[in-house]
Amino acid sequence: MKRILVTGATGQIGSELVPALRKRYGGDNVIAAGHKKAPQQSLIKEGTYITLDVTNPDSVNTVAQQYQIDTIFHLAALLSAVSEKNPQLAWKVNMDGLFNILETSRENGCAVFFPSSIGAFGPNTPRDDTPQDTLQRPNTMYGVCKVSSELLCNYYYTRFGVDTRGVRYPGLISYETLPGGGTTDYAVEIFYQAILEKSYTCFLKQGTYLDMMYMPDAIHAAIKLMETDASRLKHRNAFNITAMSFAPEELAISIKKLIPDFEMNYAIDPVRQAIADSWPRHMDDRVAKEEWGWEPQFNLEKMTTDMIERLTKKLAS
Ligand code: AKB
């Protein structure tokens, strides 16, 4: 990786991946591309920031050639709950966007990182210790896009030799940028509300176990996978990775240890509950560990402590 393009740079993952890549490869070598959302100051100050509509094939190709890009972290996508509200737009952004990135990569010799998700699984998939290779019949537009994207990325690798690699991210927890319209967003919102209001109304039921991960582990995974020697990889799109699995009430207990007067209530959102009920409770990520040394650093307790400390400082400044 020498010249990197990050699409969806203003989003939850991008706003932290761009600085990490710039630290490692130099500010001038990492182009951050956003679309509608105003960019964070750090994206503009510490390197090149551009506006890019990934659904426009000519724009994607022009940017890749203009900046001599050799690696693309393609993060621009709609999340699960938003995709269910507007499935047509989800297909356009998530699938047409990826197709344009893959075509540009084929023409210009770029490697591609693609973030798949626990959403690539469906209600018929084994929900506990979900295997790396298993049944994938998702029943949401987000899931249909994710599983199609995994297949498309693999196709571009086997058919055209494009170096495509990806992970199936669980719910991601971070303090820099809020996620925009996912099913696992409760696990981020809860921290803001716990610090500011001492109470949170959760939209998922008690007992809804889902895989989760703290953002530093998610960033580390993306960079480590793309830096792994290709000869080690038997799989490519996409690797199961997880760091913890918990239900909302367990996260509330963990927060209560540090904010004792915190209270949690429930008002279930049927759409997001149905999505969560179709996803794995806990994935088996041994293949990622074996093939490229995936190892998370943050468990529930360590993540909660770090989130509360850093978010408290952020909200006070
Ligand atoms: C979402 O909830 O949509 C995402 C995901 C798990 O893919 N966070």
Mutate to test the pocket of ligand 1, among 116, 144, 145, 183 (most ligand atoms within 8 A of CB): 183
Is the pLDDT at 1 greater than 90? The verdict is no
Reported as a pLDDT band with limits 50, 70 and 90, residue 180 is confident
Residues 21 and 133 grouped into a single domain? yes
At residue 179, the pLDDT reads 86
The CA 280 to ligand 1 mean position distance, Å, reads: 12
Instruction: Give the rounded percent of residues in the chain with a pLDDT score beyond 90.
Output: 97
Is the pLDDT at 89 greater than 80? The verdict is yes
The CA 229 to ligand 1 mean position distance, Å, reads: 28
Encode pLDDT of 35-84 as tens digits.
Answer: 988 899 889 999 999 999 999 999 999 999 999 999 999 999 999 999 99
At residue 124, the pLDDT reads 96
Is the pLDDT at 265 greater than 90? The verdict is yes
d(CA 134, CA 260): 42
Query: What does the pLDDT average to over 13-28?
Result: 97
Residues 220 and 303 grouped into a single domain? no
d(CA 184, CA 171): 5
Region of 286 (left: φ > 0; alpha: ψ -120 to 50; beta: rest) is alpha
The CA 102 to ligand 1 mean position distance, Å, reads: 22
Could you tell me which of 81, 68, 58 has the C-alpha nearest to residue 28?
68
* Position in ligand 1 atom list of the atom nearest CA 79: 3
Encode pLDDT of 100-147 as tens digits.
Answer: 999 999 999 999 999 999 999 999 999 999 999 999 999 999 999 999
Strand duo 210-214 + 244-246: pairing: antiparallel
Is the pLDDT at 12 greater than 80? The verdict is yes
Residues 189 and 265 grouped into a single domain? yes
Residues 190 and 258 grouped into a single domain? yes
Which residues fall within 8 angstroms of residue 37, CB to CB, at 6 or more apart?
A: 10, 11
Residues 179 and 141 grouped into a single domain? no
Is the pLDDT at 308 greater than 80? The verdict is yes
Using a cut of 0.75, tell me whether the model's pTM lies above it: yes
- CATH number of 223's domain: 3.40.50.720
At residue 24, the pLDDT reads 97
At residue 42, the pLDDT reads 87
- CATH number of 182's domain: 3.90.25.10
Domain that holds residue 162: 4-170+214-240
Token couple for 285 = 């990520």
Encode pLDDT of 211-221 as tens digits.
Answer: 999 999 999 99
Residues 97 and 226 grouped into a single domain? yes
Residues 160 and 302 grouped into a single domain? no
- Number of structural domains (the chain) is 2
117 lines ligand 1 (CB under 6 A): yes
Residues 281 and 149 grouped into a single domain? no
Residues 188 and 219 grouped into a single domain? no
**8 Å CB contact between 84 and 275:** yes
Residues 42 and 62 grouped into a single domain? yes
**8 Å CB contact between 170 and 218:** no
278 lines ligand 1 (CB under 6 A): no
For ligand 1, atom 8, the nearest C-alpha belongs to 171
The CA 184 to ligand 1 mean position distance, Å, reads: 6
Mean pLDDT rounded to a whole number for the chain? 97
Could you tell me which of 138, 64, 55 has the C-alpha nearest to residue 99?
55
Residues 148 and 297 grouped into a single domain? no
Catalytic residues: 142
Residues 82 and 230 grouped into a single domain? yes
